[in-house]
Amino acid sequence: MVAVTVTFAQKLERMPHYEAGMHEDAAREAFGGDQVIKLASNESPWGPHPAVVEAIGRAAPRLNRYPDQHARRLRRRIAERFDADPARIAVGNGSCELLLAAAEALCEPDDELLFAWPSFSIYPHLAALSGAREIRVPLADGYLHDLDAMLEEVTAATQLVCVCNPNNPTGTHLGAERIAEFCERLPDRVTVALDEAYIEFQAADDPDATSDLVAEYPNLIVIRTFSKAYGLAGLRCGYALCTPSFRAALDAVRQPFSVNELAQVAAAEAIQHADDVAQRVERTIVERVFVEEGVRELGLEPATSQANFSWIPLGDVDEGELVRELGERGVVVRRGAGLGDPGHIRVTYGTRAENERFLAALGEVLAA
């Protein structure tokens, strides 16, 4: 046999490692016992709406066929929800795919891609994959995006700016007015990917205020997901409000059937249950207040969250030790070190019982 040495593309060396929150099975293996609760991936603690589960069951026998390449029914439903033209709706295999496709469609090597830091940990992948140079702009006081500083970093090479609002991992939020002002001041040749994975959970603004901006700023794409407020993270479906030409560009760089049949059917059903989403959001906000108060009572001050998770600075407490001790008590949270800022943890809100367990475990560990 002839020995062949495979050489991989150079970009592989640039690719950052994306460390997802521990899967429950892995957590059980690592910490033992069946009582593990996962508060590490900003998922919904509540399963999908029963009508969504039924729709998936009804579609399953048709899986011998490919899905609609253009996801027409799903895009029409999303368009109805936003009172928009379906031509302005793109869908993707999770909003991550839309973000990656946006970078692929926009950036050549040596272009620049701008984002705040710490922010969503997929953004460095967009740069690595497309070859663009990443420019990270530190968050301002209060863990907020420093939009003025971001504007100062815009150069002739800037192609894409990612704004995560509310921001992951800090949960902080800027009002739609600030976003509009940012778009106004940005050169219109620069695209803004406004990543609104958690927008439904914010209680400061009309949640659809930014979607109205898409008509005003053709360089703005608003990216949302079914993974969080709809409780469908395992389905992998996200969508974008954008210009028809931007949608065509996204479609051009992806494989043709990226949103599978079950995802199309389920998301098209889910978007019709606005009451259910509102209820989930309300329950999440109740848990947000509960967790924030509990954390404060333990002497820590979380960042002001408008999302379904809290970002908690630990002061002198050792982050690695704390996360390990919580894990041993069956509570899995995320380390700040893996999210761009050591000395913090990020905890997703679970059910009331899960949040009580988190707070009890945190109290025990801090007391020790």
Peptide bond into 313 cis (omega under 30): no
Burial 161-195 (b: 16+ CB within 10 A, else e): bbbbbbbbbbbbbbbbebbbebbeebeeebbbbbb
Dihedral of CA 232/354/277/145: which sign? Answer: negative
To ligand PLP, the closest distance from the beta carbon of 332 in angstroms equals 15
What SS3 class is residue 61? helix
Residue 291 CB, nearest approach to ligand PLP (Å) = 18
Residues 233, 285, 314, 317: which binds ligand PLP (CB under 6 A)? 233
Report the site for ligand PLP in 66-95 (rule: CB under 6 A).
94-95
The SS3 of residue 356 is: helix
Smallest distance from ligand PLP to CB 9, Å? 24
Residue tagged 């809290």 (tokens): 310
Q: Does 195 bind ligand PLP (CB under 6 A)?
A: yes
- The residue (of 102 and 365) whose beta carbon lies closer to ligand PLP is 102
Distance CA 165, CA 179 (A): 9
Q: Name, in order, each residue with C-beta under 8 angstroms of 230's C-beta and a sequence gap of 6 or more.
A: 44, 48, 267, 270, 271, 277, 280
Nearer residue to ligand PLP within complex by CB, 154 or 233: 233
By CB under 6 A, how many residues form the interface with ligand PLP?
13
Q: Is 102 in the site for ligand PLP (CB under 6 A)?
A: no
| Interaction residues for ligand PLP, span 118-137 (CB under 6 A) | 120
Find the binding residues for ligand PLP in span 247-286 (CB under 6 A). none
DSSP code of residue 8: -
Cα distance between residue 72 and residue 89, in whole Å = 10
> Which of 118, 171, 207, 238 lies at the binding interface for ligand PLP (CB under 6 A)?
238
Give the residue, chosen from 96, 126, 144, 361, that forms a contact with ligand PLP under the rule CB under 6 A.
96
Kindly write out the interface string for residues 7-46 of this chain, putting x where it contacts ligand PLP by CB under 6 A and - elsewhere: -----------------------------------x----
Cβ 256 to ligand PLP, closest distance in Å? 19
Closest CA to 163 of 142, 187, 182, 141: 182
Nearest residue to the partner ligand PLP, using Cβ = 94
Specify the residue, 118 or 294, whose C-beta has the smaller distance to ligand PLP: 118
- Angle CA(244)–CA(231)–CA(88) in degrees, nearest 5? 5
Our CB check for ligand PLP shows the closer of 291 and 359 to be 291
By beta-carbon proximity to ligand PLP, the closer residue of 161 and 359 is 161
Among 40, 132, 161, 164, binds ligand PLP (CB under 6 A): 164
For residue 24, how many other CB atoms are within 10 A of its CB? Answer: 15
The yes or no reply on residue 200 touching ligand PLP (CB under 6 A) is no
The smaller minimum CB distance to ligand PLP, of residues 159 and 168, is found at 168
By beta-carbon proximity to ligand PLP, the closer residue of 105 and 229 is 229
Nearer to ligand PLP, 42 or 202 (CB): 42
Show Cβ contacts of residue 239 under 8 Å, excluding neighbours closer than 6 positions.
75, 78, 89, 90, 91, 92, 95, 98, 223, 224, 225, 226, 267
Asked whether position 305 contacts ligand PLP by CB under 6 A, the answer is no
| Cβ-based nearer residue to ligand PLP, 124 or 294 | 124
**Got the DSSP string for 247-300?**
HHHHHHTS-TT-S-HHHHHHHHHHTT-HHHHHHHHHHHHHHHHHHHHHHHHTT-
Instruction: Identify the CA nearest to 96 among candidates 74, 121, 119.
Output: 121
Tell me which residues touch ligand PLP (CB under 6 A): 42, 94-96, 120, 164, 168, 195, 197, 225, 227, 233, 238
